[in-house]
Structure 1
Amino acid sequence: MLRSDYDLNTLISFACSVGLEHVNVSVYDGPFIPQIEDDASSQENHMMIDSSSGHQDGADMLSKYCHHEPKILLTASWAQAIRDVGQPFEGGVGQFRRALKMYSMEVGFEYDFVKNTKERVIATCRRRATNNCMWRMNATLQKINGYFYIRSLNNIHTCGAAIRTTKNSRMSSELVASLIRDKVRDKPLTRPTDVVYDFKESYGLDITYHHAWWGVDRAKNELFGHQSLSYDLLRWYKEETERTNPGSIIEIDYDINTGRFKRVFVSFYACIYGFWYCRPMLFLDGTFLKGRYKGNLLAATAKDGDQDVVYAMVPTHKNKNRVKRIYANT
């Protein structure tokens, strides 16, 4: 009961905003009568409420007045990951375990393995001992084609624990990597914080930063190769380039004590040969001024016709930079 003067439109708007699916509303035409101590006057008030001619039976008003469409999460299809006896899994035991994990998250229950090998998996509900839940699954490997098949399935929970939650102990970085692989392929600079937000928004699941970070790292390794192996290929690239393109210069700089990679310099012989007939040019980095009139001095040098022109950033009294040309004879 609402102890306020809310009208029906306000109530329906509030229910829609919080995402309620059903609302039972009982309407009284008479004024609100506050609850008081149990005495003679209290009994009269209860009689007045019960005899109110404006009372209507509770009815679901949300579907009539609120026409919002419920949000469908990407996990909706997970409820069909485990269906019936004889269902095949072409990816073997790995695909079957992943499907079972996704199914339990969407349906909302925990399970334990009675047997978990590459050839047979038997799982039961975690509340089997305490609540005598009879949910049980048995799947085996078909050695002829390498598929995993469900051999027996009791898909009814008698423990009453099948309630979907935002957190699940079966969440792992392996599952996160399998779900974000396509996103990482399109956007290699995907951050773990983006993954945490996407899982909350699109899947309705709360995952830890730890799972997100290892999931991104695992997806990158599967798509682009392991990072340490990529650095190790630099030595092969240096040897092959110098062998097939004589005159090229490739220098790899690394920390002598730790062996950690720092930088690499690559200059192909064609580029070196092309610059032989170019006039030498001197380039200088800018020197930043930190005084009252901030600016940059002597940013770069370049050639202007037959003369060498030095372009410099000179600070002015208005704290703005202007370009000044300084001619130098060479």
Structure 2
Amino acid sequence: MVITPKTSAKEIAQQLKHLRGYQAEKDAIYKAKSAILNEAYGDEVGSFKRLPAYVERLQAADPGTHAVLEVKHGVFERIFVCPGACRLALDKCRHWLAIDATFMKTKYQMRLKLAAGMDGTGSLILLAWALTPGETD
């Protein structure tokens, strides 16, 4: 049985019943799915904790990189990243800029925001990205 983020608890329960004849509790299924996905994709909290090192490495690898990481009271707030090469590419782009955002399907309700330009051949170039809090009440 392959478990992906799109696999529903109902599908898991049906497979367990069909393959093993086992009727699992919903809570147990959700906990098991969470553990499997954390093992496969990594823990979100752990990923947020590694962001300061990510920013340091980006800036060390390319001093032209502009990266801002905001943390309040030890809790991640937002990050903005524009690699140095992307900053240089902006000068070569047409006078056209696309900005888009999407909701991240995580328990933290963040938004991934992207800025892209268009080069002389009409190809899109990713210029910067940010991860920010999603909409609140």
Q: TM-score range by the shorter chain?
A: 0.5 to 0.7
How many angstroms does 1:198 deviate by?
A: 1.8
Aligned to 1:151: none
Aligned to 1:234: 51
AA in 1 matched with 2:23: D
Match of 1:203 among 11, 17, 20: 20
> Structure 1 residues 258 and 195 mapped into 2: Cα distance closer, same or farther (>3 Å)?
farther
What is the CA deviation profile of residues 224-247 of structure 1, one whole-angstrom value per residue up to 9, with x for unaligned ones?
A: 333311221111111111111111
Aligned pair 1:251/2:68, yes or no?
yes
How do residues 103-118 of structure 1 correspond to structure 2 at under 5 angstroms?
none
Aligned to 1:111: none
How many angstroms does 1:282 deviate by?
A: 5.8
TM-score by length of 2: 0.58
Q: Match of 2:91, SS?
A: coil
Aligned pair 1:224/2:41, yes or no?
yes
How far apart in 1 are the matches of 2:97 and 2:16? 53
> Structure 1 residues 249 and 284 mapped into 2: Cα distance closer, same or farther (>3 Å)?
closer
How far apart in 1 are the matches of 2:99 and 2:62? 31
Aligned to 1:265: 80
How many angstroms does 1:267 deviate by?
A: 1.8
Aligned-pair RMSD on alpha carbons?
Answer: 2.8
Aligned pair 1:281/2:92, yes or no?
no
Q: Match of 2:81, SS?
A: strand
How many angstroms does 1:199 deviate by?
A: 1.4
How do residues 110-259 of structure 1 correspond to structure 2 at under 5 angstroms?
183-184=2-3, 187-253=4-70, 256=72, 259=75
Contact 1:191 1:216 in 2 (8 A): no
> Structure 1 residues 189 and 230 mapped into 2: Cα distance closer, same or farther (>3 Å)?
farther
Count the aligned residue pairs.
100
What is the CA deviation profile of residues 246-270 of structure 1, one whole-angstrom value per residue up to 9, with x for unaligned ones?
A: 111223355x3682x4543322111
Aligned to 2:110: none
* Unaligned ranges ≥5, structure 1: 1-179, 286-330
Q: Which has the higher contact order (CA 8 A, sep 6+)?
A: 2
> Structure 1 residues 284 and 192 mapped into 2: Cα distance closer, same or farther (>3 Å)?
closer
What is the CA deviation profile of residues 163-186 of structure 1, one whole-angstrom value per residue up to 9, with x for unaligned ones?
A: xxxxxxxxxxxxxxxxx6xx23xx
Q: Match of 2:93, SS?
A: coil
Q: Match of 2:50, SS?
A: helix
Q: Relative to total residues, which structure has the larger strand share, 1 or 2? A: 2
Contact 1:238 1:250 in 2 (8 A): yes
How far apart in 2 are the matches of 1:282 and 1:218? 40
Q: Match of 2:67, SS?
A: strand
Aligned to 2:111: none
How many angstroms does 1:200 deviate by?
A: 2.2
How many angstroms does 1:188 deviate by?
A: 4.0
Q: Match of 2:24, SS?
A: coil
How many angstroms does 1:203 deviate by?
A: 2.3
> Structure 1 residues 196 and 251 mapped into 2: Cα distance closer, same or farther (>3 Å)?
farther
How far apart in 2 are the matches of 1:284 and 1:237? 23
What is the identity percentage for the equivalent residue pairs of Structure 1 and Structure 2?
A: 23
